[in-house]
Amino acid sequence: MKNLIISILIAIPLYAQKPQLEEVADVGKNQPIGVAVESSTNRLFVSFPHNEPFMFALTEIKNGRRVAYPNEEWNKQGTDDKHFNNVQDLYADDKGSLWVLDSKPAGGASVFGDSGSAQTGEFKLIQFDLASNTAKKVYRFGGLPLDKSGLNDVRVDTQKQLAYLSDPALKAIVVLDLKTDTVRIVLQDDASTTATPRYTLKIDGVEMTDENNKPFVSNVNSIALTKDNNYFYYKPINHDRLYRIRTKHLANTKLSAEDITFKVEKIADVGMSHGLECDAKGNIYYGDSQMHAIRYVTRFGKVKTLVIDGRIIWPDSFGVGSDGYLYFSCAQLNRQPKYNNQQSKVDLPYRIYRVKMPN
């Protein structure tokens, strides 16, 4: 009897420790996209596309409130080197820098196919020093086909001085040399970077098709870089499989296109997903909109569920804090008017969440 009581007392706190969703910030009617966490201080940054109602392109969340980062002047729309145009993704590296991908593809290169009539895309990558909150350098992607590219997500390898970016429009990984500001395009049209044909997303019983009955499709989109900078993970949204490649292969300019293809590793079948992030233990987190869940793949290739919650609606971008939490945005893309007969199904306000990572 005594042993039974002890077992019950032990079981209760274990059940209570099951990860639960926690709201970090209410961002009103502004759709959040990029998320980054500076791990040493847990500073949280969130970006927003330049859609109405527009407030700021890039913010730091302080006490649950948005503050323009690095200041309000930078958040006045512009295509020069001192203003944001359309902030897409964020990455906080291990050397105290915040990297901001400002990406506005040409109309035909947008993953949505409706980003305007511009014939040339506008792209820049800005490196901010988080100690001084000032821009250190702006990169312009020399050699990138601006009319065809659709740069989406970015990760920065501080050891090799390279940035790795997903490009759904090119169906490729773009490798930016930070020393020369020039790019190499790798794994283009590879099976690992190309969406599975006739793979229509269906969430909450609703297919993601627009008014022209065109389904939402994204080639290579979500990416992650391990904390030791040794492995780069990626996958298309409309694809079941998660892939990775050693960064030394992405850095090797002597490898042919065929050689690089043979270096790709198939990791796990994770289903339709978006958003990727890696923690210090090698767990790869991703969003599962169909199950309203955050899942992860362990370094041994096992697929596990971290949390399931009805508020998890199209988790788009992730950041890992040293406080043991995974932070993420919910963009609710599938509930936009475009995919619901021009009626918004968005559950306002938009929010930023966090959840405790496994010990």
Strands (E), 264-324: 265-269, 274-278, 284-288, 293-297, 303-308, 315-320
The tens digit of pLDDT for each residue in 200-255 reads 999 999 999 999 999 999 999 999 999 999 999 999 999 999 999 999 999 999 99
CA gap 291, 284 in Å, rounded:
17
For the beta sheet containing 274-278, the strands, ordered from the edge strand earlier in sequence to the opposite edge, are 274-278, 284-288, 293-297, 303-308
- Residue range 41-52, pLDDT digits in tens: 999 999 999 988
d(CA 172, CA 193): 6
Is the dihedral angle over the CA atoms 110, 340, 192, 330 positive or is it negative? positive
Torsion angle, alpha carbons of 307, 312, 313, 319, to 10: -80
Query: What pLDDT, on the 0 to 100 scale, is given for residue 9?
Result: 36
What pLDDT score was predicted for residue 113? 64
The pLDDT of residue 111: 81
This prediction has a pTM of: 0.94
Q: Give me the residues of the chain with pLDDT under 70, please.
A: 1-18, 113-117
pLDDT of residue 116: 59
Residues 6+ apart with CB under 8 A from 282: 226, 298, 299
Preceding peptide of 13 cis, ω within 30°:
no
Helix ranges (DSSP H) in the chain: 2-16, 247-251, 257-261
Please give the angle made by the CA atoms of 138, 221 and 151, to the nearest 5 degrees.
Answer: 30
Q: In this predicted structure, what is the pLDDT of residue 114?
A: 61
Q: Is the dihedral of CA 150, 180, 245, 275 positive or negative?
A: negative
Q: Of 348, 350, 328, whose CA–CA distance to 27 is shortest?
A: 350
